[in-house]
Structure 1
Amino acid sequence: MAKIVTIVIVVLIAATAVFGFRWYSYVSNTDSPYDEVGIEINSRLPARLNQWGCDKLHATFGNVVPPYGCAAGDGTTWR
């Protein structure tokens, strides 16, 4: 039983590291705010992490239409 718990913990840590790295790479990029995987990860994160990611993207790409998850109610302005 202990071996199964260890394997589950290792898999959870690895998945968190992979998704965390992928998300941070997306919000700190300078190429485009429209990466599909990055948008999905960012839009599904808790509000505080999502807002931090959107703020970081807005600082880099403030003059373009925001990606899904970072738009205000009208869909064309950053929140």
Structure 2
Amino acid sequence: MKKIVQVLCVVLISVAVMTGLRWYRYVASSDTPYDEVGITLNGYMPGPIRSWGCHKLQERFPRALPPYGCAGPDGRSWA
């Protein structure tokens, strides 16, 4: 039983790390702010982390329309 719990913990931690790294790669070095996987992962992030990610994307793509989840009320300005 202890071995099953240990394996489960390792799998869960591995998935969390891989997901976090994929999200960070989208925010910090993506070629476009419209990467579907990145937008989805950003949407699942907690509020402060999502806000930081949107701010980082806005710094990198100042003239682009914001992706879903980073748009203001009008849909054309950054939140």
TM-score class normalised by the smaller sequence = over 0.9
How many equivalent pairs are there? Answer: 79
CA distance in structure 1 between the aligned counterparts of 2:43 and 2:63, rounded to whole angstroms? 20
CA distance in structure 2 between the aligned counterparts of 1:37 and 1:69, rounded to whole angstroms? 13
TM-score of the superposition, structure 2-length normalised? 0.95
Stretches of structure 2 lacking an aligned partner (at least 5 in a row): none
Match of 2:56 in 1: 56
Please show how residues 3-42 of structure 1 align to structure 2 within 5 Å: 3-42=3-42
After TM superposition, give the deviation of residue 30 of structure 1 in Å.
Answer: 4.8
CA distance in structure 2 between the aligned counterparts of 1:31 and 1:20, rounded to whole angstroms? 18
CA distance in structure 2 between the aligned counterparts of 1:62 and 1:69, rounded to whole angstroms? 16
Match of 2:66 in 1: 66
Equivalent position amino acid for 2:76 in 1: T
For the 8 Å contact 1:30–1:60, the answer to whether it is kept is no
Percent sequence identity over aligned pairs: 49
Question: Helix, strand or coil: the match of 1:28?
Answer: helix
CA distance in structure 2 between the aligned counterparts of 1:44 and 1:21, rounded to whole angstroms? 14
After TM superposition, give the deviation of residue 9 of structure 1 in Å.
Answer: 0.5
After TM superposition, give the deviation of residue 62 of structure 1 in Å.
Answer: 1.3
